[in-house]
Amino acid sequence: MFYGETGYLPGALKMPKLDEKLKKCFKEGEKEIERHKGLRKIKPNRKLSSDHLKKAMHNLKAIFFFNKNGYSDWSASAAFYCLYHCLLGILAKNGYESRNQSCTFALIKDLINNGKIKEITKEDLEEIFESDVTETLEHSSKILDIRESMQYSAKTSLEDDLFIKLKERTKLLFEKLRREFERGEISFGK
């Protein structure tokens, strides 16, 4: 089932910019190809959700592994994908599939706005990604921006203070996302 075939219409709080983004994302997801670049409505899927949580745990451990072994630049990617897989798991739990990061963030924001997600706030989500950021990547503190800065620059390590901030923020957000799963009766090892 795709957008329009469900009882839940994203953007129910009349947020025109968000609603328009979600319409585009669901339209892209309607393409009859496996590698669509949007959102699809699916049956809620506990196994897929749980698998995303396992991947998130794997990436959380990778943050420390990369730093310990001299690859702290990769810790930024692991931090982002730890949280991103949590978000994908929340979508699977709620009956959605996403193949596009900006669509994922838009739908999560809409689910928060509509009270379907209770353990994280829009401000928490904006710690990971904020579409309206006007700062340069170099000066942004958003987790996605730190990842992009490290991925697309020639830097091979994070400064110690930036690594510590990234690690602590990721752990804090991960715990909030963990509570969202526990609220929905999906749990995974600590």
| Domain 46-94+104-183 CATH superfamily | Nucleotidyltransferases  domain 2 (1.20.120.330)
Helix, strand, coil share (%) of the chain residues, nearest 5: 60, 5, 35
For the cut 70, the answer to whether the pLDDT of residue 190 exceeds it is no
DSSP-assigned letters across all residues of 12-47: TT--HHHHHHHHHHHHHHTSSSTT-SSEEE----HH
Q: Tell me the pLDDT band of 34, cut-offs 50, 70 and 90.
A: confident
- Of 12-16, 22-26, 49-53, give the lowest mean pLDDT range: 12-16
Reported pTM: 0.84
For residues 17-29, average pLDDT: 90
**Domain layout of the chain by residue ranges:** 46-94+104-183
For the cut 60, the answer to whether the pLDDT of residue 13 exceeds it is no
